[in-house]
Each structure stands twice: as structure tokens, then as C-alpha cells.
Structure 1
Amino acid sequence: MNCRFSWLQGSDPRVATCRGRLQTRRCQLNQEINKELRLRAGAENLFKATTNRKLRETVALELSFVNSNLQLLKEQLAELNSSVELYQNDSKECVMPMIPLGLKETKEIDFREPFKDFILEHYSENAATYEDPISDFMDMRQAMRTPVRSTAGVALLFKYYNQLYYIERRFFPPDRSLGVYFEWFDSLTGVPSCQRTVAFEKACVLFNIAGIYTQIGARQERKTCAGLDGAVDALLRAAGTLRYIHENFTNAPSVDLAADTLLVLGALMTSQARECLFEKLQLQAREACSGRDRELRDDLDMCLDLAQESAQLAHTYQQLYDKMQTEGVFNYVPYSWVSLVHVKTEFYKALAHQYCATGLLHATVPQHARDRLSALYSNDRDCTLNGVSPTSKYEEEFDHLALGRAHLLESLALYEEALRLQRMCRELRGKEALSRVVTSQRERASRERTSLRDEPEFAELLDAPAILPSSKFQLALTPPDFAQHRVEDLFKSLGPIAIFSAKRHWSAPRLVQLQKQTEFRRESKRSEKRDRSEDNSTYYNQTRDDKYIDRVTKQNGVYISSFDLDYHPKLLEDKLANGARRQRRRELRRVASEATVGGDGFGFSVRGDAPVMVAGIEPNSLADIGGMREGDFIISINDVDVKWSSHEEVVQLIQGAGDSLTLRLATPMDKSSTKSTPLASRESNSTAGSMSAASSSSSERSPRRAPSWNPFRRSRREPNPHDMLVYR
């Protein structure tokens, strides 16, 4: 393993902890479920295809055995999901157990051949040079399959997720398949799902991030404020991650990533975060009362506040229980989870009545207790007492002791209901921590009732009104923070990802070699031009008519003109005007070229950064003759890779190249950047310089257009073969 990826060594060996062994057993069950599903699919196909009666009976019997095995395996997986006590803290004090999520399992994938083929085909690079980045990515994914249940494991998953951003854009084109399949097992049912999109891989990784957060939250020490703060933070991060999956990933092939399931799981984590916050309020209330040398029961306001917070928590779990009863969720969520949520609903209802009873029975100022009734009880129709609002009834005849006894009896009845629900679920019967928490609260309520010695024997039996759910706290989900775990693109050497990605297309890089003219060739060029001008001086002195008559001859009855269009007076005037315009354009281009690549250089200008592009080509320059095109990407300069270089760095390399410049260029093939291209090869008798180029372009530019005005252009009437003149 490379030193820069030393953080990958923190993967869980799956045998060091109870949670690791539990995950190992989950992996084995997933494999067995996958095997039975394949057997069932084959048996069903055979049953449909065969017409032999005896064979159909044999296959039907085999299908019954396979379905029985599948049912047993799914029950074992549900039992693993209900093993919540293994994820709790090792503290001896019993607390209400939390429900964590198990991690999704995946199979190992070999990316070597698909990535190498794509690098060679799409990027035209040597695939052998990218063996180390491919191995690093595979090591990262292998470590991601078994993360530790801590912040280090979360960081590993986030780094892998961020690396998938680059992998998807580098190697997964939107118009075709790469041949890589991502297979993951459902965390709730164990059924495998397979897709070719990286989005499925991302969603599964995020689900495992949420799963680790839930396990971290369940593992916290919940008898301290710091531990409860850590649990609330972890559970809210898990809920935020699940919501992020629901909002950004659709059409999931597995049940645990379905929209309804994600909403239920997110609500479960939010409810458990509120439960931890309520436990922190209980702890702070006890600490505040002990600091004032008082009991919690002596503080009426604090007891009633805790009663309403507990009623709010019970209301939250009741809503969650109703969501779990829906058809799309009930068949997949473990039954032990549904039962535990139901138990918690009744338990916190009982706790709300117990806090209310404690405050009313020990109230020293009855008038103050009467003032709090309007905020404590609800005026809904469901909460009326014999058709009369509880608030109005107890404003007329207020007996806080009788009302406190009614709440205490209601709490005892609800505690008994919670214990009954626990006994009804086979998976929850053996949960000792759950039994001890509910039993201890019931015994405390029983002792409170026993202490009421002044209770009259024939007192009026009252029904305790429902407590209005209310909370002073509002929870905010924490979305995943991807920027906290930045990674470096493993395939950065392929170029900037905005240009060199799987969805962009460009030609294969071609080699262009430019050689400037020497001083000796420049002088010979100037002298040759002077000689030519002197030889043609007499020609220019001839009259227009003589020159025209001398240059038209008759051969075989056909008039043939050997006239050179460049020397015709009218055409010469037009050529001079066009030459002046071209000269002005050439000057402007030369100014741009000098500002970019300097001097009387190679005849091209550049613009942009990473990668630098060819901005303009001077006509009849070395760049034009060499096959350079406007919009070309400069890949390398004199064997120096410049895909990530800035504009200034490229200019310095070109200016420092001297008389010889070697470029590797690539032409973008997108419609928006497609331009006319020069001829692949062009003959030239000029002695301005020498050039050799290797080009692999697939298109050529059309030849240069003739002058717009032609003195020999005929009118648009039908041609007469008898008076036709042929010119050359």
C-alpha cells in the first residue's frame, strides 16, 4: 500500500469485535440467499419450459424446498437485524436500546481490463502507465467493503465516494456501457441487486455511511451529557444522509433504497435522536435538582415540562409506528423493529403520565398547578373527559391529588402494556436491557402509589386526560459533508476533467514539428524577390492591349489563353486591395501572436489555461502549413506534458523552444467546437523554412476560394459551343 493511502489500512477484519462477527454472518447469509434465489429462478424456468408431468411434479417439489430454505434464511437475517444489544454500549447501567442499521455487502470487482481498454481507446494513452492508479482505486474499494465502526470508517467511505466523482466522469460515458457491474446485497432482505451505473454504487456507499453513523450513535455512553450529545449528532447525521439519498437517487433496485423505506428509516433515526435528547433533559433535571438539595418531584414546572417532552416523544414514535404499518414497508422492515417502536410508544406515554402524577401529587401550591393545566392538556375532542374539556372541568372543581392519582394509575397500565408487547414478540423476549428499563420504571410508579396513605377508599374514579405533546427543541438533520474529506484525482495525469472526460470526444493526439527559417535563408529569400521584381519590370511597362493580344493563341481551332490572372490590370488592382486588407489582418494576428508566443514565431497564438488551446493560425505560416487548427488542445511541448499547465507556462515553453518546436495536439470532435481543418499535406516551393508533421486528422479544409471578381466571367445565358473560349 502506498504511503499516501495509509488511511486505507484501517479496514475491519470482521473477527475482532462482536459487530464484526455479526457482519460476517450477515455476509454468509447474503451468499446463501443469493444461491437459493438462483436455484429458484432455474427451477421456475424449468417448470415453465417442460411439458413432462413427472418432471413438473419433481420441479414443484424442489421449488417448495427452495422457498422453505429462503424463508428460514430470511428469518435468520431478521434475527441478525434484531440483535441490537450487540451495538449498545458496554456500560452496566441499562438504558433503552437503540436500533442501528446493518451495512450493505458487495462483491469484489476487477477494474483493470475495462479501465485499461477505455484509456487506450478513448484517451489514446498508454494504459500500462496507469496500473498504479487502477490498483490504488481497487485497494480503496476493497477497504471500503469492511470499514471500522468509527469516524475513521466514515472518512474512508466519504473518500471513496468523492473518488467516485472522478471515476464516473473519467470512465463511464453516458452513451454506452463500460462493462462494469456493481452488485450489492439488500441490508434488510439479503436479495442481491446489480446495476451498471455509478449512481447505484454511490447510493449504497451513502447507505453504509448512514449505517455506521447509527452504530456510532448506539455505541455512545448515554449516562453522560457528552455521550448523549455524541449520540444525537450521529443519529441526526444518519437521518440527513438517508434523506440525501432519497432526494438525489431514484429508481433504486433494492428495497432498502426505496423511497418509502428511506423515509421510514430516516424517521426512525430522528425519533431516536429525540429520545437521546430527552434522556439528556432527564439527566440535566436531576443534576439541577440535586444542586439545590431538592428532589425532582418537588419541582412542579420541571416535572410537567418533562411530561410534555415525553408525550412528544411518544407521539413521534406513534407516527413512526403508523408509517411502518404501510404495505410497502411492513413486509421488509424486521418485525422486531416494529415491535420495539410500539413498546417505546407505550413506555413514553406511561413516563409522561408518571411525571405529571409526580408533579401534581407533590405540588405545594395548588393554584400554580391549576394555572399549568391549560398548557398541559389538549382541548381536542379525543382528549375530552365525559364530553367536557379537561381544562374547564378542573378550573371549576380542582383536586390535584385526585388528578395525580389518575395519572399514576394510567402510567401503571401503560407500563403493563409495554411489557405485554415485549412478551408478544419472540425476538424481544430475550432483550434483558429493555425488560429492566420498563420494569424499573413500573416499580418506581408502584412505590409512588403505595406512598399515598391518605388516599380515600371510595374516591371518585377519574380517567387521566391525554397530555398535550410539546417540545422546546426542534431537530435539524445534518446532510453529508463531502467537502470535509477531499481526495486527489487518481487519474489526474489524463488531463483536466472538464475537457478530458468520458463524455467529451477529440481526435487522437498528433505530432507537429515546426522548424524556423535560418538567417541565411531569409537573405536568399529577399534577394530572390528583388531579382524577380527587376525581371518583371519590362513586363509591367507593356500596354494592356499588347499584353493581352500576345498571350492569346489559337490551337486546333480553339482559342486558348495563356494569360496569368495575377498580372491582369483589373485583377491586379483587386489583388492589391485584398492584399492590403490581408496585410492589416496579418498585422493584427501577428500582434496577438507576439503577445502570446512571441516574436516572428511560428504563426499561431494560444489562449486559456489547463489545457491551453490554439487561438488563431496565421495564413501561410509554419503553423498553417504544419496542420495546426484553431481550437486544438496542446497536449505536450517538446516532450513536456502541458495538459495542466497555465497560459504563462505554455508561452514560456514556446518562447524557449528556439528554432525547433514539437507539439502534440488533439482536435475536439464535439459539434460546438468542430472547425474547418487544413489539408493534411501541402506542397510548397517556398524556402521560408522546413516542416515535418504526423497528422491523423479525419477531415480536410476546402481549397482556398478564387477572387470574387473575374474579368472573364460569362453572363448567365446558355453557352454557345461555337464561340466558347477556354482559359487556363
Structure 2
Amino acid sequence: MRTPSRNEAGLELLMEYYSQLYFLDNRFFPPNKNLGIFFHWYDSLTGVPSHQRALAFEKGSVLFNIGALHTQIGARQDRTTLQGVDCAIEAFQKASGAFNYLKENFSNAPSLDMSAASLNMLVRLMIAQVQECVFEKVILLGAQSDFLACLQLAQEAARVEEVYSLVYQTMTQPHVKDYVPFSWTTMVHVKSEHFKALSHCYAAMALCDCPPASDADLPEHEKAFLQFHVTPPQGPDVRLLLQDQEERRKLGKAHLRKAIMRHEEAMRIHSLCKILRKMDILQEVLCFAHKRSLGKYSEIDHEEDFFETADAPDIHPKTHQRPEIKSPNFSKVKVTDIFHRLGPLSVFSAKNKWLPPRTVRLVRGENGFGFTLRGDSPVLIAGVIAGGCAADAGLKEGDYIVSINGKDCKWSKHAEVVQLLKVAGDEGADVGVITLQYSEGQSVVDKKSSAMGPGVAGGGSSSGLLKSNKENCRKTVMQSKGASSLLAWGKRSKRSKSSSSSYSLPFSAMGDNELAC
């Protein structure tokens, strides 16, 4: 198995492999029996091994790897450009979709990284990173000197803080807190405090740096400010506050005071983790934001301020772009069943039991071959006339025609089989057939009679030919469900050191399968 590259080509390879697993599952794995093949995987964060014989175990691991690869693609984007931010948003949304699909369709995972609690945490973590990218996109698009733009940035930052707080609560729950790395939990906590500080900082910038609105713009500013705080601030009404520069300065000072407190808390939490202390870029970002708030506070703080600074109300979180959970779309990758030559999955699979294949010699008699045909791919012998050529040769009702004179007929249409029998003429034909076994004693004709029309005598006219059975149409991969609901994860790979604050999961190559003795 090739190790997928960390790009779109790697994603396509994984999705092709998942689609092939769908074909393998339906063709070779009986629904009530496990084959002697072990699938070995290692937990993505702890390295604890686990193994199962169910193919669904392998399918789940591939889905997890797809999600992990999306996180790596998202973390590698250049988020100083709009294109890079959009690509990161798309990647993290697809990662959340892959993990969410696992959570909703698989259960009883043998490894902790595949448990419902862990997958729920990963989905929320990816959504939080999407929301952070949306905040960065607003910064790239907006003018920070505009009053409404600063209010929007403050509410976007408050929204990022809200989702990271939710992730932190999820990470500190039982069965998760002892499993998730301490650096992850600390980073999420730091980001929660950092973005809360940023929301108050941008609120102060809107009040202190932006000039009062004109009479024409005042109604719009007033409406936006009424929806800005969770609870109305103390003091005069909104219209008077927005027009009075001193009142704006007082409220802005209160927001800056809270921002400085949150910045200092973020720096304190950051200092508790040895791994995070080694991330120079993260430390620089925290220090820069803290110094900016301190500098702004010094600018608006007057010596004659004898009043006690009021506590600034919390900012109402709001975003203009809500994250989407995008499930994997396997239909985009075209895959051909590598065992296509074995015949349609609806018939030629391990879900059915077969008698040994046999070849019979048919020679046309005065009344034809003495049997009737129905269906397509493969064509079914619907009836055998007693005393006819087919009955004497050993053909039975319910046999499937798989070859005629050495030509494979598993995928042949009804008309094609009739034509091959016509071409054989009076010389006869070697017809390869197989017979399904049914424990209930029900014949194939009885089971398929509702899907087939009237039969056509072997070698007769093709006017009564039928269309292909719908049951032979391939089902989409997204509709398939494995026989088991067990999951797995790939072997560990060496983790690369990165100064990025984005979360990307370790990704690994598929392990070799082991045949049980």
C-alpha cells in the first residue's frame, strides 16, 4: 500500500481505496462470518495497537485518515492571503465532515481516537479552527478604522472565543481529558482567553479610535450597537453614548481593562505548558496583543480620572459565515471494481452460496434448445422443458449462464446471449453454468420473478428481450454500511515539529494485513 502524499493527490488515493473496500466488502466478505484477515492499526495520539477481522475496521481507519489529511492540508495554508484562508476553511470543514461521518455511522470503536467522545471533540475542534479562519478573513477584508468594521471584528472574535470554550469543555470531560495531550488542551484554553481579549480590544478601538457618526449614519450605528452587548452598558442611552466622546472613552477604557486581564490570563496559561513555550511565534502573538492593549489603555487613561472604571459587559458573539460540516463526497472519484470480471456484485459475491461450475453441451433440436431465458447480467435459465435438449444435457431451472463457447457472459445482456446461441446453430454450443444454493428451498426464478417479464425460448426470437435488472446497478459508496461497526487507525509516523497553532492530526500509512493461521 502506497503512503498517500499530504495533498489532494493523497486524498484522491485514500478515497479510491475506500471505494475499493466497498467492492471487496460486498463481494468477498459474508455478512455473518469474518474471514481470517486481521487489520492492525495504532491509536493516532497514544500509539496503542488494536486489531479486528472486520473489513469495516479498515474502512473506518481510512475515513479517519481522510479527516487527518484534511487537517494537515488546512494547517499548511498561507493564511496571510484570502486564497490561503479560503483553502484552510475548506480543508477544516471537510475534516470535520469526515470525523462527523465516522461518529454518526460507526460505533464500538476499539481505539480511543475512534470513540464517540473523541470524534465529537475533533469535530468541534475543526469547527473552531474554521471560525478562527473566518475571523482572519474579516481582518484581511475590512478597514479597522471604521466603526462598524471594528464592531464586526469584536463580535467575530467573541464567536471564536465561544467555540473554543466549547472545545475546552469537551476536552476536559471524563474519558477525554486523560487521553487528549496536555498541549492541545492548553492551546485551546489559551486561544479562548486570547480571542476574548481581542473582542474587547476591538470594541475599545471602535469606541475610542473611530469618530462619532454623522446624522445620516447615526441610526445604522445605533442599531448595530444595540445588538453588540449581551447586556446594555451602564450609563446614558445608546444615542447619547455614541455622540458623547467622553462617554465613549469611558466605555472603551472598561473594555480595554477587561482585554488586558484576558491577555494576561492567556499568557499565564501559555507559560504552564513546556511544549507551547517552545513555540516562539505563538508567544510573540500573545505578547504583541498584550502590549497593544496596554498602549491603547495608556493613551486614553487620564490623570484626572477619579471615577472607578465600570465593568464592561460581555460582547454578543456573531459571525457572517457559519462553518459547514462537509461529509466526504466519494462520487467525485471514479473507481472501477478491480474484480469486475467476476460478474455483477448482486449475484457473484460471498453473500451467496454456489454449486461447482459446470459446462454442458447443447445441440439444437427440432423445437429449439428446450429452455427459456430471463434477465440480464447474468442471464437466468427460467425454465427447462422436460424431455428437451437442455434437460437431457443437464441444465436446470435457476442456472446462470456464465459462458458460451468460451466467451464470458457474466455481464452479457439477454439479447447478446440469444445471439450467441443463434450463431452456434445446429453444431451446438458449450454452455458454462453455475447454480445458486438456497437454504429455504426457494428457486432463483421465484426470487426474481417480480423483476422479470415473460421468458423467451432459447434460440428463439429476440422480441421479448428484457432490460437489465436494476439490482445490478452499483450503489454509491456513501450509502454502503459495513457488516461491522468497528474502526481502526493507521500506524504511527514521526511527528514533525511545527510552530503553527493550527491543529493537524498525525497521519500514517496503511499497515500490512496479516493472515490468521
TM-score, shorter chain, exceeding 0.5 = yes
Q: Which is higher, the Rg of structure 1 or of structure 2? A: 1
Q: Does 1:328 align with 2:175?
A: yes
> Deviations along 1:148-193, whole A, 9 cap, x unmatched?
1111111111111100011112221123222000010000111101
Q: Normalising to structure 2: TM-score of the pair?
A: 0.80
Evaluate the alpha carbon distance shift between residue 515 and residue 222 of structure 1 in structure 2; reply closer, same or farther with a 3 A threshold: same
CA contact (8 A) 1:213 1:238 kept: yes
Query: What corresponds to 1:711 in structure 2?
Result: none
Query: What corresponds to 1:337 in structure 2?
Result: 184
The match for 2:233 among 378, 390, 403 is 390
Evaluate the alpha carbon distance shift between residue 153 and residue 664 of structure 1 in structure 2; reply closer, same or farther with a 3 A threshold: same
Query: Percent identity of the aligned residues?
Result: 41
Q: How does 1:620-699 map to 2 (within 5 A)?
A: 620-659=387-426, 660-671=428-439, 674-675=442-443
Structure 1 counterpart SS, 2:411: coil
Partners of 2:178 and 2:229 lie apart in 1 by 37
Partners of 2:235 and 2:249 lie apart in 1 by 17
Q: Which amino acid in the other structure matches residue 400 of structure 1?
A: R
Q: How does 1:18-97 map to 2 (within 5 A)?
A: none
The match for 2:158 among 275, 289, 311 is 311
Query: What corresponds to 1:163 in structure 2?
Result: 20
> Deviations along 1:40-99, whole A, 9 cap, x unmatched?
xxxxxxxxxxxxxxxxxxxxxxxxxxxxxxxxxxxxxxxxxxxxxxxxxxxxxxxxxxxx
> Deviations along 1:124-164, whole A, 9 cap, x unmatched?
xxxxxxxxxxxxxxxxxx11xx2111111111111111000
Partners of 2:406 and 2:235 lie apart in 1 by 91
Deviation larger for 262-271 or 631-640? 631-640
> Deviations along 1:185-227, whole A, 9 cap, x unmatched?
0001111011000111011111011111000000000000000
CA contact (8 A) 2:402 2:409 kept: yes
Query: What corresponds to 1:225 in structure 2?
Result: 82
Q: Which amino acid in the other structure matches residue 273 of structure 1?
A: V
Q: Which amino acid in the other structure matches residue 233 of structure 2?
A: P
Aligned-residue Cα RMSD (Å) equals 2.0
Higher helix residue share: 1
Q: Normalising to structure 1: TM-score of the pair?
A: 0.58
Evaluate the alpha carbon distance shift between residue 390 and residue 188 of structure 1 in structure 2; reply closer, same or farther with a 3 A threshold: same
Task: Tell me the number of residue pairs that the alignment of Structure 1 and Structure 2 aligns.
Answer: 434
The match for 1:436 among 284, 296, 307 is 284
Evaluate the alpha carbon distance shift between residue 443 and residue 271 of structure 1 in structure 2; reply closer, same or farther with a 3 A threshold: same
Q: Which amino acid in the other structure matches residue 172 of structure 1?
A: F
Evaluate the alpha carbon distance shift between residue 500 and residue 676 of structure 1 in structure 2; reply closer, same or farther with a 3 A threshold: closer
Q: How does 1:145-294 map to 2 (within 5 A)?
A: 146-285=3-142, 289=143
Partners of 2:239 and 2:360 lie apart in 1 by 100
Higher RCO (CA-CA < 8 Å; seq separation 6+): 2
Q: Which amino acid in the other structure matches residue 172 of structure 2?
A: Q
CA contact (8 A) 1:611 1:645 kept: yes
Evaluate the alpha carbon distance shift between residue 454 and residue 392 of structure 1 in structure 2; reply closer, same or farther with a 3 A threshold: closer
Partners of 1:499 and 1:392 lie apart in 2 by 78
Gaps of 5+ in 1: 1-141, 290-295, 380-388, 523-599, 678-728
Q: Does 1:482 align with 2:330?
A: yes
Evaluate the alpha carbon distance shift between residue 371 and residue 637 of structure 1 in structure 2; reply closer, same or farther with a 3 A threshold: closer
The match for 1:618 among 385, 389, 396 is 385
Partners of 2:190 and 2:284 lie apart in 1 by 13
CA contact (8 A) 1:354 1:411 kept: yes
Partners of 2:225 and 2:444 lie apart in 1 by 85
Deviation larger for 390-399 or 496-505? 390-399
Query: What corresponds to 1:355 in structure 2?
Result: 202
Q: Which amino acid in the other structure matches residue 312 of structure 2?
A: A
> Deviations along 1:222-243, whole A, 9 cap, x unmatched?
0000000000000000000000
Gaps of 5+ in 2: 242-246, 446-517
Partners of 1:355 and 1:472 lie apart in 2 by 17
Partners of 2:315 and 2:197 lie apart in 1 by 11
Structure 1 counterpart SS, 2:6: coil
Tell me how far 1:674 sits from its aligned partner: 3.6
Partners of 1:309 and 1:423 lie apart in 2 by 26
Q: Which amino acid in the other structure matches residue 373 of structure 1?
A: F
CA contact (8 A) 2:131 2:159 kept: no
Q: Does 1:465 align with 2:322?
A: no
Structure 2 counterpart SS, 1:189: coil
